[in-house]
Amino acid sequence: MTTQTHNRRYTLGVLHGDGIGPEIVPASVLVADAALEAVGAAPVEWRELPLGFAAIESLDEATPKTTLTALAETDGWLLGPHDSAAYPEPFRSELNPSGTIRKHFDLYANVRPAKAFQGARAVVEGTDLVIMRENTEGFYADRSTYRGTGEFMPTPDVAIALGIITRQACERIAREAFELAMRRRKRVTIVHKANVLKMTTGLFRDVCQEVAQDYPEVTVDDFHIDAMTVHLVRRAHEFDVLVTENMFGDILSDLAGELAGSLGIAPSLNASQDRAMAQAAHGSAPDIAGQDRANPIAMILSTAMLFEWLGARHGDEQLTRVAALIERGVEETVAQGTSTPDMGGSAGCREFAEAVAATIKQL
């Protein structure tokens, strides 16, 4: 970690994406600016970059090479959701924008918290856990090979998918999980399917348990993925940090988000040692795009996670305070009765963001 900095200026990329992205990403920038001002930090330079449908129309690329080059020159970035399933060919068949970015920058750790808010409609009250998802391999075809994809059809009637698990990837995500647990409640749950996928997820489980030996203060247990879904529904509030492979983590984090109150409040951060991308866990919700009905909480909290990551990486206490203030602003706003329709409220996306910004100024 570098020496603590004061009033350092940061450049953050802004990629609106598709669907509700052009609504929730600007809402997050609005809230972040309010928190930066409140703590007296230097304003962030927000650099908007093309991605998704807008980039296809203007540059004939869903993920322009110029965007990737520009992102490499920033301190981090906000990525809105994409609707790649609706892209015209050949873009629909290509690696989607978020997958392209994750792969290009080797963003191996997908950190996905699920936390219930006072005043929200949580299925399991008291839920406060984090899913640490390995983000670069597994059964995801776009991430399981160096070139091409790990999914193919030798005949029209046979489809084959490769599931890649490596010791290196298992070890680095396990260390991220245990380091996080040391800052939380010191419990890690390893999620796998080693009773059936004995060599692949068995390797994942075994490497995580090996890493656990370096963290004797952390309590460790493990569950099969199918049993884990049941445990979350029954007692999500008892878990702290869950570490798992790519596909299991994707599924579990959606479940955990709903248990905490709504997938609309489920944030995530994609990170490596030197890069980080804030990206809400949910999709582009094209059915409500442009209606000012989207819940921006997931994107706002993802932005807070990015500031927390930047604060830790650069030893910048002001950014750590910005992250905490954003999270508290969201919690206080919901507790005071302001929320979007998916959480039982009536506030629009912009209205909610403005309410959070106002709460931050009062705090």
Domain locations along the chain: 1-116+263-363, 122-260
- Per-residue pLDDT band for 284 (boundaries 50, 70, 90) equals very high
Asked if the domains 1-116+263-363 and 122-260 are classified in one and the same CATH topology, the answer is: yes
**Tens of pLDDT along 26-37?**
999 999 999 999
Backbone phi, psi, residue 138, to 5°: 80, -145
Q: Which class is 122-260 in CATH?
A: alpha beta
CA distance 226 to 187: 20
Mean pLDDT to the nearest integer, 350-354: 97
Domain 1-116+263-363: which topology?
Answer: Isopropylmalate Dehydrogenase (3.40.718)
- The span from the CA of 300 to the CA of 323, in Å, is 10
Q: Which of 11-15, 51-55, 60-64, 121-125 has the lowest average pLDDT? A: 121-125
> Global pTM?
0.92
Mean pLDDT across 95-106: 92
Strand partners, 264: none
Dihedral, CA of residue 74, residue 244, residue 81 and residue 358, to nearest 10: -70
- For Cα atoms 161, 90, 96, give the angle at the middle one, nearest 5 degrees: 55
**What pLDDT does 5 receive?**
47
The DSSP symbol for 164 reads B
In the chain, the percentage of residues whose pLDDT exceeds 70 is 98
Q: Tell me which amino acid residue 171 is.
A: E
Tokens 């445990």 map to which residue? 231
- The single residue listed with the structure tokens 């219930």 is 116
Return the active site residues: 140, 193, 226, 250, 254
In this prediction, residue 3 has a pLDDT band, given cuts at 50, 70 and 90, of: very low
What is the rounded distance in angstroms from the CA atom of residue 334 to the CA atom of residue 338?
A: 5
What was the pLDDT predicted at 241? 98
Query: Amino acid identity of 254?
Result: D
β-bridge partners, 11: 45
Round the average pLDDT of the chain to a whole number and report it.
93
CB 111 within 8 A of CB 280: no
The pLDDT-based confidence of 2 (bands split at 50, 70, 90) is very low
The DSSP secondary-structure symbol of 329 reads H
Confidence grade of residue 6 (pLDDT, cut at 50, 70, 90) = low
Confidence of residue 141 (pLDDT cuts 50, 70, 90): low
Whole-number pLDDT of residue 177? 98
- Locus of tokens 């705090």: 363
Report whether pLDDT(151) > 90: no
Per-residue pLDDT, averaged over 84-108, amounts to 92
Burial (Cβ within 10 Å: 0-12, 13-18, ≥19) of residue 211: buried
Rounded CA-CA distance 151/191 in Å is: 24
**Mean pLDDT along residues 114-127:** 87
Average pLDDT of the segment spanning 291-315: 96
Which residue, chain included where needed, has tokens 């602003």?
A: 329
